[in-house]
Amino acid sequence: MPIFGGKETNVFEAIDAHLGAVKESLIAFRALMEAYLEGDLEKATTFEREVTELESKADSLRRSIETMLYEGAFLPANRGDYVRLSELIDQVADAAESASHTLILAKPRVPGELKDEILRLVDMAIETYSLLMKAVRALNEDVDEAISLSKEVEDSEELADKVEYEVKGKVFESETITTYAKIIWNQILTKIGDIADRAEDASDQVMLMGIKRRG
């Protein structure tokens, strides 16, 4: 059964919409990466615009959540926790947007031998965020489940971090990738890793909120 009701229920619905908008931005980012790695710059550029639009949508939803909170949802002592959570969730979309802009603006040569591994890193980052979504949604249903899922987010981020490091190593070891492309891919891979990192930051906030609520 839901723990809260009334205005709080409306906030959870808004948070759910926010989570969905951020997930949509990650799906568009994944499509952008796939198109770029396949050499379709026009299609990738189209998805870049979509990522930007979805990030703006997520940002608007974040502001609406903050407005609802300051209009009286939750006790004053808890409002800041939800404001912080929505800000951290929003940073996931920010990371995807930053990665997409860097890729399309710099246009580094595609390391053909690493296409699958780069997409694997993207998928792992998105999976980390998907676990975060479950953790946030559990906050209004089962605090213990929210805390458990937060730990899963942390584990997923650590795996993504290892893959990021491995792919970066292969980029720098490659004799076919130019120095310019190596520098740019290092930045892009870092930003992809930031998607998982920001998801973990948000999961830390979920865990904190869960522990405080459990008392």
Residue partners of 19: CB distance under 8 A and separation at least 6: 89, 133, 136, 137
Q: Is 142 left (phi over 0), alpha (psi -120 to 50) or beta?
A: beta
Tokens of 154: 């942390």
- Pick the closest to residue 212 from 141, 151, 139, 153 (CA basis): 139
Percent of the chain residues past pLDDT 90, beyond the cut: 78
Amino acid in the structure at residue 72: G
Q: Per CATH, which fold does 7-214 belong to?
A: Methane Monooxygenase Hydroxylase; Chain G, domain 1 (1.20.58)
State the Cα–Cα distance between residues 83 and 85, nearest whole angstrom.
Answer: 5
pTM: 0.93
pLDDT for 67 = 86
Do residues 141 and 109 touch, judged by C-beta distance below 8 A? no
Domain boundaries, given as residue ranges, for the chain = 7-214
Q: Is the pLDDT of residue 4 over 50?
A: no
pLDDT digits (tens, 9 = 90+) for 123-182: 999 999 999 999 999 988 899 999 999 999 999 999 999 999 999 999 999 999 999 999
3-state secondary structure of 11: helix
Report pLDDT digits (tens) over 91-111: 999 999 999 999 999 999 998
Q: Taking Cα atoms as reference points, which of 212, 202, 208, 194 lies closest to residue 132?
A: 202
pLDDT at 73: 60
Could you tell me the two tokens for 87? 């800000």
pLDDT at residue number 6: 53
Collapse the DSSP code of 72 into the 3-class scheme (helix H, G, I; strand E, B; otherwise coil) and give the result: coil
